[in-house]
Chain A
Amino acid sequence: MSETEPTTRDATGTVDARWLEAPCAALTVDPDGMVREANAAAVSLLPQLRTGEPLTRVVPWLATADGTSAPFADVVDGRTVEAQPVRQDDGSVTWWLIDVTDVRSVRDELKLEQARAAFLSEASAALLGSLNLLRCMEVTGELAVGRLADGALVITPAAHGRFQVVTVVRDRADSSRSTLLRFDPDEVPGLAEALQGFPPVPSRWIDPAIAPSWLTPAGFGDVGSIVVTPLPGHGIPAGALVLLRRAGCGPFSEGEEATANEFAARSGLAMSAARMFAQQAAITETLMRDLLPPRLQHVAGVEYAGGYRPSQDSERVGGDFYDVHPAVDGTEETLAVLGDVCGKGLEAAVLTGKIRSALHALRPMSGDHLRMLRLLNEALLTDDDARFVTLVLASVSRIGSDVRLRLTCAGHPPPLIIRADGRVEEAATSGTLVGALPTIEATTYETRIAPGETCLLYTDGITEAQGGPLGRDQFGEERLQRAAAECAGMPAEAVVERVRMLAAEWVGRNAHDDMAVLAITAPRGQHLTAVGGHGRGRYTA
C-alpha cells in the first residue's frame, strides 16, 4: 500500500489522499483507455494493475465493459468482483470495484435453501390434506416429479403378494397411474429393505442396466440414474420411493439427495397416517354396521320409514334406535320398535345394540307386549353396564286395505295416529320405563289405520328441541301434533322427512338431543276408495 501511494499521486497530482486510502477499490481510466490512477485497494485486488498502461492489457475483463451504465461483474482469481462505473466530465471513467464473492455465495445458498424450504412446505401442505392412501401416493409422485426427478414410482408394501404402485412421469398429463403389480422386490437392490421399513436403510443408487423392466415407465426413454429411497412411517413401513432421471440429466447433487430424503420422510408420515386411518375406518365401519339405523322399506303391505339424527353431527349413532322385524312365516304380525336409551354418543349406541338384539330374540313373544317388556327388564337389571330405556312396541298386520296396530309404550311419549281427515290422536297407552325397577306395568292400545293414515313414533329429542325463531322455545308436543295434522294422506317417507325437517329448522344451530322418528303408514294407491272407514275399535289390555 505504501509502495503504490507515491506512484499514483505523481501520475495525476489531483489525487485525494482520502480516495487513495479508501477501503473500496477504485481506478480511473482515461478516454483513450489508459489507466490514469488506481488506489491502494485496487492494486491489492488486481496486482497486475499499473497506471499509464492500457486497460486492455492490465485488466482485460474490465475493458470489455462499456462503462456507460450498468454494473459489470466477473470472476477474478476465484473472487467475484462487481465493477460500478462513474463517468467524469473529462470523459474519463472511474471504476469502483467491489468484492461480492461472499455476498453472492450467501445469496445463492439462501436462494437454494429458500427453494428447498418452499418445496418441503408445499409438499407438507399437499400431503397433509388427504387421508386417502392412494391420493397421498399420487401427491407424493407428482411432487417428486415436479422437483426431484423425471419419473417417480411410489410403492407400498405388498398386500396378498401384490404391490400398489403409483407411477408419475414428468410432462405427461395422464401420467399419474396406479396399478397393482406382482414382482420380486429383491430384483431391485435396496427395495426389499426399503419396503420392510426396518432397520433404516439409506437411499440407494442402482445401475439402470440391472433394473427390471417394470421399473421404467412406458415411453420414459433412456434412464440415466435411479435412486431407491425408503418412506419411513409411524412404526409401520409406508413404502418406497423410486426416483428416475433421464439419461443426460446428471445425477443427484448432495443437496438434492438431502432434499429427497427429507421429502421422503414427510411423504412416508402422510402415507402411514392415511394407511392407519383406512384401517381404523374399516374397523369402525364393521363395528358400526349393526349400530346404524336400518334402511326401512315396505313390509307385508305396510309402509315404514325412519329418520335419525344423532345429537352430535360428527357421530353417526346415539342413544335412540328403531327397528322393523318382519314376521317370520307371513302370518304373524310385523314388530316395529322405537326407543331411547339414557345417554348419548357411542356408549349409548352400544347399549342400543344390546337392546335391539335382545328385542330381536324376544320377537316370538311379541303377541304379549307386556311379557316381552318384562323379559327385557329382567335382562337389563342383571346387566351391570345397562342403563334404562324407554320404548314403544308396535305389532303391525294388514287387515284388507287397513292396517291393525297394537301399540305399547314403556315410559315413552305415546305414538301419534294421523287420520286421513287431519285429526291427530295420541295412542292411549302408557307404561313404566324398562331397566330401572324390579317390576313394570304397561297397557296396550289397539287401533286400525285406513289407507293414507299414519302411526308416528318419535323420541323426545324432537319435542324437547330448543330453538325456534327466538331461540328459546321448545318444539313441543302441540307443534308436533300440528305438523302431523298436515301430514294426513302423505307417504311414510314424506311424513318422516317433514317432521325431521321441521325439527332441524327449529333447532337451527342449537345443541340438541338424539332425534328419531318412525312412520307406519297404510299404503294408498289402488286402495284409495277405502279411505274413510270409521268405527275403529279401542281395546285396552
Chain B
Amino acid sequence: MTEHGRHGTSTSAVRRYADLLWDAVLRGDEYTAVDVVVDALRDGVEAETVLLDLIGAVQQRVGAEWAANRISVAQEHAATAINERVIGTLALTRGRSAGDLGRITVACVDGEWHALPARLLTEVLRLRGFTVDYLGAQVPAAHLITHLHRTGPDAVALSSSIATRLPTAHATISACQAAGVPVIVGGPAFGTDGRYARLLGADAWAPDARTAAETLRGGLPAPANPHAQPMDDLPHLSDQEYTLVTRNAPTLVATVTEKLRERVPAMAGYDDEQVLRTAEDVRHIVDFLAVALYTGDPDLFGDFLDWTAEVLTARSVPASVLAPTLELLGAELRDFSRAARLLRSAAAARAAIDHGAAPASPPTPGADDAPLHRTGRPA
C-alpha cells in the first residue's frame, strides 16, 4: 500500500480494495476475495499493483497482526491459503506474455515455509515478460541445482524470510554460482538493507519485487567468484563455534531447560508438555545464536531478542525470562569465546531493559497456544 496505483487509480482506492481483501481473507472467504481482486482490475488497477499493493500488503498485515497476537496462527495459514488461491485465479485471468526477457528460476531456501513473496515475484516477473520456473517453498538444494543444470536459466531468485535459514541460503547461493548461474536474493532474512546478501556473496539483492524485476531486466553478469567456499566469505567460521553449537543444540537445550527449572521455582511443577514448550523457546534462541555466530553479526541476535520480547509481551508472557536463559546459555558456552561474548552483551542489554520489572518469572506455556516455535517469523 506504499505505492500509487497506476492508470489513474488513486492510492486511496488501492487502500480501500486492500481493506476489503483483508476482511475477506480474514473470514476465509475465498469467493469475496476473488471478487475484490476482479473488481480492482476492472476499476483499472494494474495487475502488478493488485499483486503487490493488495495481496502483498494484506499478507504483510497478516504477519504483523500475528506478531501482535491479534490473529491466530491458524488464521495466518488460512489467510495465506486464500491469498494463494486469489493469485492462482488472477494468473488464470490474464494471458501469459511472450516470456522473451529471459528465463528466471524462483525458489525459496530449503526450510522456508513462507512461499507467498516468491509466488508474488513469480507473477510480477511473468507480467513483465520473463519466463519463470517457480519451484515453491521447501526446495532442497539438490533439486534446485538439478533444475539449473537442466534448464540453464539466466538467474536464480532466492527468497528467505527467516534469518535462521541464512547458513542454508549461503550454501544454496554458492551452489547456484558454482553451476554458473548468478543469484539475486530477497526477503527479510537478508536484512532490511541487504547486508546479509552481500555478506553471503549473492550477486544481487532486492528489497521488493519491483526492484528485483528491474534488476533482472538489466541482466546479471555471470557469478564473479563461482568457486568460493563458505570460509572465503566468512573466515571467522574457522573457529568452528557455529558447527559445534549447531551440532550440540539438542544437548545444550536440554541442559539449559533443566537448569532453568532449578532456577525458576514456578517451573518445577511443569508437566512434560510445558517443559517441551519451554525447550522449544530455548531452541529458538539457540538457533538465532547459531546464525549470529555464522554471520558474525551480533545485531542479528540482539534484533531477534528484541522481537521475541515484543511477541512474548503481546502474549502476556513476561519477557524477563529471556535474561536468565541467556545467562545459562553463556555459562554452558563459556569456552566459546565469540558465543560467550554475544551472550554476555545480550544478557546485559536484556537485564537493562528488565530493570525495575519483577524478578525473572517463568513463561506460562499453555496460556496461549502460539508460542515462538510455531512461527519462525522473521524479526
**Nearest chain A CB to B282 CB, angstrom units:** 7
Q: Is the CB of A494 within 8 A of B250?
A: no
Within 8 A of A (CB), among B30-46: 30-31
Q: Is the CB of A486 within 8 A of B72?
A: yes
Within 8 A of B (CB), among A485-541: 486-491, 493-495, 497-498, 500-501, 504-505, 523-526, 528
Given contacts A281-B146, A487-B74, contact A129 B31 (CB under 8 A): no
Interface of B is mostly: helix
**Nearest chain A CB to B87 CB, angstrom units:** 12
Q: Is the CB of B138 within 8 A of A504?
A: yes
Within 8 A of A (CB), among B266-315: 276, 279-280, 282-283
B226 is an interface residue with CB less than 8 A from chain A: yes
A134 is an interface residue with CB less than 8 A from chain B: yes
Q: Give the contact stretch, choosing among B76-84, B94-102, B202-210, B318-326.
A: B76-84
Give the residues in chain A near B113, CB-CB below 8 Å.
Answer: 497, 501, 504
Interface 1/0 per residue, B101-144 and A, CB below 8 Å: 00000000011010000000000000000000000001010110
B188 is an interface residue with CB less than 8 A from chain A: no
A472 is an interface residue with CB less than 8 A from chain B: yes
Give the residues in chain B near A505, CB-CB below 8 Å.
Answer: 373, 376
Contact of B73 among A135, A486, A500 (CB under 8 A): A486
Please measure, in the bound complex, the distance between the C-alpha atom of A439 and the C-alpha atom of B260, giving whole angstroms.
56
Q: Is the CB of B81 within 8 A of A129?
A: no
Q: Is the CB of B146 within 8 A of A125?
A: no
Q: Is the CB of A132 within 8 A of B151?
A: yes
A372 is an interface residue with CB less than 8 A from chain B: no
Q: Is the CB of A494 within 8 A of B149?
A: no
Interface 1/0 per residue, B250-266 and A, CB below 8 Å: 11011001000000000
Please measure, in the bound complex, the distance between the C-alpha atom of A491 and the C-alpha atom of B152, giving whole angstroms.
36
Q: Is the CB of B276 within 8 A of A486?
A: no
Give the residues in chain B near A504, CB-CB below 8 Å.
Answer: 111, 113, 138
**Nearest chain B CB to A287 CB, angstrom units:** 15
Contact of B29 among A309, A472, A525 (CB under 8 A): A525
Interface 1/0 per residue, A132-151 and B, CB below 8 Å: 11110001000000000000
Q: Which residue in chain A gives the minimum CB-CB distance to B283? A: A469
A256 is an interface residue with CB less than 8 A from chain B: no
Please measure, in the bound complex, the distance between the C-alpha atom of A352 and the C-alpha atom of B271, giving whole angstroms.
42
Q: Is the CB of B30 within 8 A of A486?
A: no
A contacts with B, residue count (CB < 8 A): 45
Give the residues in chain B near A314, CB-CB below 8 Å.
Answer: 140, 142-143
Please measure, in the bound complex, the distance between the C-alpha atom of A491 and the C-alpha atom of B80, giving whole angstroms.
10
B369 is an interface residue with CB less than 8 A from chain A: yes
Q: Is the CB of B81 within 8 A of A281?
A: no
Please measure, in the bound complex, the distance between the C-alpha atom of A505 and the C-alpha atom of B72, giving whole angstroms.
19
A347 is an interface residue with CB less than 8 A from chain B: no
B contacts with A, residue count (CB < 8 A): 46
A255 is an interface residue with CB less than 8 A from chain B: no
Q: Is the CB of B180 within 8 A of A130?
A: yes
Q: Is the CB of B150 within 8 A of A491?
A: no
Given contacts A129-B226, A486-B369, contact A497 B77 (CB under 8 A): yes
A61 is an interface residue with CB less than 8 A from chain B: no
Q: Is the CB of A490 within 8 A of B81?
A: yes
Give the residues in chain A near B84, CB-CB below 8 Å.
Answer: 493
Please measure, in the bound complex, the distance between the C-alpha atom of A490 and the C-alpha atom of B249, giving whole angstroms.
34
Contact of A135 among B78, B180, B227, B276 (CB under 8 A): B180
Within 8 A of A (CB), among B132-191: 138, 140, 142-143, 146, 148-152, 178-180
Give the residues in chain B near A495, CB-CB below 8 Å.
Answer: 77
B230 is an interface residue with CB less than 8 A from chain A: no
**Nearest chain B CB to A508 CB, angstrom units:** 9
Please measure, in the bound complex, the distance between the C-alpha atom of A500 and the C-alpha atom of B84, giving whole angstroms.
17
**Nearest chain B CB to A66 CB, angstrom units:** 45
Q: Is the CB of A134 within 8 A of B152?
A: yes
Give the residues in chain B near A126, CB-CB below 8 Å.
Answer: 180, 226
A468 is an interface residue with CB less than 8 A from chain B: yes
Given contacts A314-B140, A490-B77, contact A469 B282 (CB under 8 A): yes
Looking at A309, A313, A504, A528, the one whose CB has the most chain B CB atoms below 10 A away is: A313
B28 is an interface residue with CB less than 8 A from chain A: yes
Give the residues in chain A near B140, CB-CB below 8 Å.
Answer: 313-314
Please measure, in the bound complex, the distance between the C-alpha atom of A526 and the C-alpha atom of B252, giving whole angstroms.
51
Interface 1/0 per residue, B217-255 and A, CB below 8 Å: 000000000110000000000000000000001110110
Contact of A491 among B30, B31, B178, B180 (CB under 8 A): B30
A473 is an interface residue with CB less than 8 A from chain B: yes
Give the residues in chain B near A134, CB-CB below 8 Å.
Answer: 152
**Nearest chain A CB to B317 CB, angstrom units:** 17
**Nearest chain A CB to B324 CB, angstrom units:** 17
Contact of B276 among A473, A487, A498 (CB under 8 A): A473
Give the residues in chain B near A468, CB-CB below 8 Å.
Answer: 276, 279-280
Please measure, in the bound complex, the distance between the C-alpha atom of A202 and the C-alpha atom of B74, giving whole angstroms.
69
Within 8 A of B (CB), among A449-487: 452, 468-473, 486-487
A436 is an interface residue with CB less than 8 A from chain B: no
Give the residues in chain B near A528, CB-CB below 8 Å.
Answer: 29
Give the residues in chain B near A130, CB-CB below 8 Å.
Answer: 149, 152, 179-180
Give the residues in chain A near B80, CB-CB below 8 Å.
Answer: 494, 497
Given contacts A524-B29, A525-B30, contact A131 B149 (CB under 8 A): yes
Contact of B180 among A129, A277, A494, A525 (CB under 8 A): A129
A316 is an interface residue with CB less than 8 A from chain B: yes
Looking at B84, B152, B373, the one whose CB has the most chain A CB atoms below 10 A away is: B152
Looking at B78, B179, B254, the one whose CB has the most chain A CB atoms below 10 A away is: B78
Give the residues in chain A near B77, CB-CB below 8 Å.
Answer: 487, 490, 494-495, 497-498
Give the residues in chain B near A129, CB-CB below 8 Å.
Answer: 178-180, 226-227
Give the residues in chain A near B376, CB-CB below 8 Å.
Answer: 505
**Nearest chain A CB to B35 CB, angstrom units:** 11
Give the residues in chain B near A487, CB-CB below 8 Å.
Answer: 74, 77
Contact of A526 among B31, B82, B142 (CB under 8 A): B31
Give the residues in chain B near A486, CB-CB below 8 Å.
Answer: 72-74, 369
A278 is an interface residue with CB less than 8 A from chain B: yes
Given contacts A139-B180, A524-B29, contact A491 B149 (CB under 8 A): no
Looking at A470, A487, A489, A505, the one whose CB has the most chain B CB atoms below 10 A away is: A470
Give the residues in chain A near B280, CB-CB below 8 Å.
Answer: 468-469
Q: Is the CB of A490 within 8 A of B78?
A: yes
Given contacts A135-B180, A497-B81, contact A490 B250 (CB under 8 A): no
Please measure, in the bound complex, the distance between the C-alpha atom of A468 and the C-alpha atom of B275, giving whole angstroms.
12
Contact of B74 among A139, A490, A500 (CB under 8 A): A490
List 22 interface pairs A-B (beta carbons < 8 Å), by A numbering: A126-B226, A129-B226, A130-B149, A130-B179, A130-B180, A131-B179, A135-B152, A281-B150, A313-B140, A314-B142, A468-B276, A469-B257, A469-B276, A469-B373, A472-B250, A473-B276, A487-B77, A490-B81, A491-B28, A493-B81, A524-B30, A525-B29
Which of B's residues lie within 8 Å of A, judged by CB?
Answer: 28-31, 72-74, 77-78, 80-82, 84-85, 110-111, 113, 138, 140, 142-143, 146, 148-152, 178-180, 226-227, 249-251, 253-254, 257, 276, 279-280, 282-283, 369, 373, 376
Ranked 8 nearest A-B pairs via Cβ: A471-B250, A132-B152, A494-B81, A313-B140, A469-B279, A469-B283, A131-B149, A494-B77
Further 4 A-B residue pairs, CB within 8 A, beyond A131-B149, A468-B280: A470-B276, A471-B250, A494-B81, A524-B28
